[in-house]
C-alpha cells in the first residue's frame, strides 16, 4: 500500500464537512483503497463485475452436504438463466455476471455469460489424499487471474468474487485450519444447512483430510507446507480460481470485494502467495459460517455487511458494493469545511 | 401487519432457489415489508426520497455540543449546494433530497430543494422547562406528515429520514430516557464528538431536563406522561417532524428507513402514538451512539448496517436502501426450485 496516498486520504477525510471519524468504518475502507490504488481519492469502483467460479468436490462422496452434487450444475443453469439470487443482487448494483466452469463434474454447453475453463471434472476426495495436483491448482489459479484481467480489460473497475460448488464449505474449513492453525471444530460450519449429524461427520472429514495430506501443524499451529501445495491438497478448483482472481485483480489495481467463507479461505491462499494482494481486498460481509470470522480476523479485514447470510454465489460481496462505492464517493463529492463555509470545531 | 401476506412471503422465501434462511436478516426484512404493505412480494421500494428536517435547540446554550449553533444553518446551505455526505450518498442510491426548515434559528432564503415550514426559531431550553408547547410539537408533527404525503404523491416509494440540528443528540437522549426508562448515562453519547467533560455535562443536562419536565418514571421505569407531552417537553422540532414523517409514510403504505439515534428517538414517539406505524419502519443502521442500541432493542428492530457511523443527515438510512431493495428484489426476481429445475433438499 502507498503510505503517501493513505496519509493524504486520511487528511482529506478530516477536511470534509462532517465530524472527524463520523463515517466510521467507511472512512477506513476509503483510506485503504487509496493506499491500494496509490491515489487519493481512490477511483470510484464502478462498474463492478461478478465472477462465479463453479466446481465440484470429490469429498462430497463423504456425505458432508445435504445437497446432491448435481445442484452445482443445476445452479450454473440458474445463473445463466438469470434466476439466482446473485443475478437479482447483481442487477441491483449494476454488476455484470460471468459464470466460470473451472471444474464442474459434467460437460456444459456453451452459453452467453459462461466461460468454460474446466481444469478437471471436480476434485479428488481430499480425505484420502490431495484434492488436486499442484499442476491442477496452478491451472485453476491461472484461470482466475485470466478472468480478472479480462474483466478489467472489458472495463470493470471492481471485482466481486462468487462461487458455486456443493460441498465447498468443507474444503474451505480445511484450508482455514491449514492456513491459520485453528481446529476443525472452530472452522467448520453448517454450510447450506447441515444437520447435527452431518456437521459432526463434516468436522471429522476435515480432520481426516488434514491428516491425510500432512497439514496438521506442530503444536496446533498452522501447517508449514508451501501455500500452493496446501491449496492443492485441500482446496477446491473454485478456491484456487478465486485465489487467482484476487491476485489478478490486485495486479490490475482494482478493488476485489470478497464474498463469504469460500472467498475468505481462498484469500488465505492468495495472502500466503502474495501478502500485498490483500491491500486490494474488501470483506464484503461476514457470513454465518464460523470459519469466516476466523478468516477475517486472520486477514485483519472488517466486513461491510453482517446480516447472517450463508448463500455464497457472491451475494454478500454484491450487497457490499454500494457501501464501498459510497465510501469512495464521499471522498470525491463532499465539500470541505473551507469550500462550504462551515465552521470546523477543530480549526 | 397483514398476517396472510407475512405467511405467503415466508412460504415464497422457502420456494426460492437458495437454502432456506440463507439470506438471513434480509429474508426477515422482506417478510416484514410484505406484512406492512399487505401484499407478497411487497412493492420494490423505489424511488427513495430523503427528507432532512433541520432545527435548532435551546439546550445548546448549556454547552452540550462542541459545535456552534450556526452550523445547523451552514449545513442546510451545504445540503442545498449538494456538498454534504447525505448528498453523495443520496446520489449513490438514486434518492431525491428535500431539506425541511422546521425550526432553524435563523431565516432561510427560498431555494430549490428547500421547504420552509418553520414552527419556531429553535426550541426552548428543555433543562428549564418544556422545549416546545404541545401546539408547536403538533405543528411540527404535521409538517412531517405533510412532507411524507407530498413525497409519496410525487412518486416516492420509500422514505428515508434525515436530520440536522446541533445539540439534537441531547434531545434524543432525553426522549429515550422518558420513553424507555433507561438512565441518562446509558442513553447519552458523544454525538458529533463531545469530549469527556462535555459528555458528563450532557448527561447532567439530560437528567435536569427529565426532572424539570416531570418525566422521571416511578422506580426508574418509563415516564407515564402522554406521548405528545413527552415529545413536546424534551424533543426537538426535527424529532417531532420525523415522528410525523414516520406516521405519514406508514399511512401512505410505504417503507420508512430510519437513520440513526435522532430518527430512532423520534420513532419511539411515533410508536407511542401509533404502534402499527413501526411495521413500516426499517432500521437503516445502528450508530455509535449508545442510546441508539437502546432504541432498536425497545422497538425490536434489527439494523441493516453496523459500521459505527455517527453523522446523521440520513446517511445511515441511505446506505441501507440498496440492502432493503435487494431483499425485496430477490422475492420478485429469483426463480423457484420448480421453475428452475433445481433439486430441493427439503422436497
The model's pLDDT over B240-268, given as tens digits with 9 standing for 90+, comes to 999 999 999 999 999 999 999 999 999 99
- Would the pLDDT of B219 be above 80? no
**Count of CB pairs separated by less than 8 Å, A with B:** 188
d(CA B132, CA B237): 8
The verdict on B211 touching A (C-beta cutoff 8 Å) is no
Q: Which of A21, A88, A341 sits opposite B333 (nearest CB)?
A: A88
- The helix/strand/coil state of A42 is coil
DSSP string, B41-54: SPPP--SEEEEEEE
Contacts of B306 in chain A (CB under 8 A): 306
- Would the pLDDT of A221 be above 90? no
Q: What would the grid cell of residue A287 be?
A: 457470513
- Mean of pLDDT values over A65-93: 97
Interface of A with B in 8-47 (CB under 8 A): 16-26
Predicted local distance difference test score (pLDDT) of residue B192: 87
Q: With CB atoms and an 8 Å threshold, state whether A17 touches B75.
A: yes
- Would the pLDDT of B279 be above 80? yes
Nearest chain B Cα distance for residue A164, angstroms: 12
- Mean of pLDDT values over B303-308: 97
Nearest chain B Cα distance for residue A83, angstroms: 5
- Mean of pLDDT values over B139-164: 98
- Would the pLDDT of B43 be above 80? yes
A94-115 pLDDT, tens digit per residue, is 999 999 999 999 999 999 999 9
A15-71 pLDDT, tens digit per residue, is 999 999 999 999 999 999 999 999 999 999 999 999 999 999 999 999 999 999 999
Is A282:A29 a contact under the CB 8 Å cutoff? Answer: yes
Q: With CB atoms and an 8 Å threshold, state whether B329 touches A24.
A: no
Angle at the Cα of A330 (from A328 to A335), degrees rounded to 5? 145
Predicted local distance difference test score (pLDDT) of residue A219: 75
- Mean of pLDDT values over B27-45: 98
Predicted local distance difference test score (pLDDT) of residue A180: 96
Q: What would the grid cell of residue A344 be?
A: 470546523
Predicted local distance difference test score (pLDDT) of residue B29: 98
Instruction: Give the burial string for A152-186 (b: 16+ CB within 10 Å, else e).
Output: beeebbbbbbbbbbbbbbbbbbbbbbbbbbbebeb
Q: With CB atoms and an 8 Å threshold, state whether B305 touches A319.
A: no
The verdict on B169 touching A (C-beta cutoff 8 Å) is no
B98-143 pLDDT, tens digit per residue, is 999 999 999 999 999 999 999 999 999 999 999 999 999 999 999 9
What percent of chain B lies above the pLDDT cut of 70?
Answer: 100
Q: With CB atoms and an 8 Å threshold, state whether B319 touches A319.
A: no
Predicted local distance difference test score (pLDDT) of residue B220: 73
Closest A-chain CA to B329: A88
A321-347 pLDDT, tens digit per residue, is 999 999 999 999 999 999 999 998 877
- Would the pLDDT of B221 be above 90? no
What percent of chain A lies above the pLDDT cut of 70?
Answer: 100
What integer best gives the mean pLDDT of chain A? 97
Q: With CB atoms and an 8 Å threshold, state whether A85 touches B335.
A: no
Contacts of B16 in chain A (CB under 8 A): 85
Predicted local distance difference test score (pLDDT) of residue B345: 83
Asked if the ipTM is above 0.90, the reply is yes
The verdict on B308 touching A (C-beta cutoff 8 Å) is yes
d(CA B199, CA B190): 6
- Would the pLDDT of A217 be above 90? no
Contacts of B282 in chain A (CB under 8 A): none
The verdict on A85 touching B (C-beta cutoff 8 Å) is yes
d(CA B238, CA B312): 12
- Mean of pLDDT values over A264-293: 97
d(CA B195, CA A246): 42
The verdict on A341 touching B (C-beta cutoff 8 Å) is yes
The verdict on B91 touching A (C-beta cutoff 8 Å) is yes
Predicted local distance difference test score (pLDDT) of residue A44: 98
The verdict on B325 touching A (C-beta cutoff 8 Å) is yes
Classify burial at B186, counting beta carbons within 10 Å of its beta carbon; exposed 0-12, middle 13-18, buried 19 or more: middle
- Which 8-state DSSP code applies to residue A16? B
Predicted local distance difference test score (pLDDT) of residue B304: 98
For chain A, the residue count is: 347
Interface test with B, best of A160, A308, A338, A347 (most B CBs within 10 A): A308
The verdict on A195 touching B (C-beta cutoff 8 Å) is no
Contacts of B88 in chain A (CB under 8 A): 326, 329-330, 332-334
What are phi and psi for residue B217, nearest 5 degrees? -70, 160
| Secondary structure element (H or E) that encloses residue B73, with its range | helix B70-80
d(CA B248, CA A104): 52
A284-297 pLDDT, tens digit per residue, is 999 999 999 999 99
Amino acid at each position: 500500500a502507498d503510505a503517501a496516498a493513505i496519509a493524504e486520504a486520511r487528511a482529506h477525510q478530516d477536511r470534509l464537512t462532517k465530524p472527524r471519524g463520523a463515517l466510521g468504518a467507511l472512512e477506513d475502507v476509503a483510506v485503504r483503497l487509496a493506499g491500494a490504488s496509490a491515489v487519493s481519492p481512490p477511483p470510484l469502483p464502478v462498474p463492478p463485475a461478478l465472477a462465479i467460479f463453479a466446481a465440484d468436490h470429490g469429498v462430497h462422496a463423504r456425505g458432508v452436504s445435504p445437497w446432491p452434487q448435481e445442484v452445482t450444475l443445476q445452479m450454473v443453469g440458474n445463473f445463466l438463466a438469470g434466476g439466482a439470487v446473485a443475478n437479482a443482487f447483481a442487477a441491483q448494483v449494476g454488476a455484470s455476471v460471468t459464470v466460470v466452469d473451472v471444474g464442474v463434474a459434467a460437460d456444459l454447453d456453451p452459453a452467453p455469460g459462461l466461460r468454460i475453463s474446466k481444469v478437471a471434472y471436480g476434485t479428488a476426495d481430499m480425505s484420502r489424499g490431495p484434492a488436486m495436483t499442484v499442476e491442477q491448482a496452478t491451472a485453476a489459479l491461472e484461470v482466475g487471474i485470466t478472468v480478472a484481467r479480462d474483466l478489467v480489460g472489458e472495463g470493470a473497475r471492481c471485482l466481486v468474487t462468487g462461487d458455486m460448488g456443493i460441498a465447498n464449505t468443507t474444503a474451505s474449513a480445511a484450508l482455514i485450519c491449514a492456513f491459520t492453525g485453528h481446529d476443525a471444530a472452530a472452522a467448520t460450519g453448517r454450510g447450506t444447512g447441515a444437520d447435527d449429524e452431518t456437521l459432526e461427520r463434516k468436522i471429522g472429514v476435515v480432520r481426516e483430510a488434514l491428516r491425510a495430506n500432512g497439514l496438521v501443524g506442530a503444536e496446533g499451529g498452522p501447517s508449514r507446507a508451501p501455500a500452493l501445495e496446501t491449496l492443492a491438497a485441500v482446496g477446491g478448483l473454485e478456491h484456487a480460481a478465486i485465489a487467482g482472481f484476487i491476485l489478478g485483480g490486485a495486479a490490475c489495481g482494482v478493488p476485489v470485494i470478497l464474498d463469504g467463507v469460500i472467498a475468505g479461505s481462498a484469500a488465505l491462499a492468495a495472502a500466503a502467495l502474495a501478502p500485498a494482494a490483500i491491500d486490494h481486498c474488501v470483506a464484503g460481509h461476514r457470513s454465518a459460517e464460523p470459519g469466516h470470522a476466523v478468516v477475517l480476523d486472520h486477514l485483519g479485514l472488517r466486513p461491510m455487511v453482517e446480516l447472517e447470510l450463508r448463500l455464497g454465489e457472491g451475494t454478500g460481496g454484491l450487497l457490499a458494493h454500494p457501501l464501498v462505492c459510497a465510501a469512495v464517493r464521499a471522498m470525491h463529492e463532499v465539500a470541505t469545511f473551507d469550500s462550504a463555509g462551515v465552521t470546523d470545531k477543530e480549526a
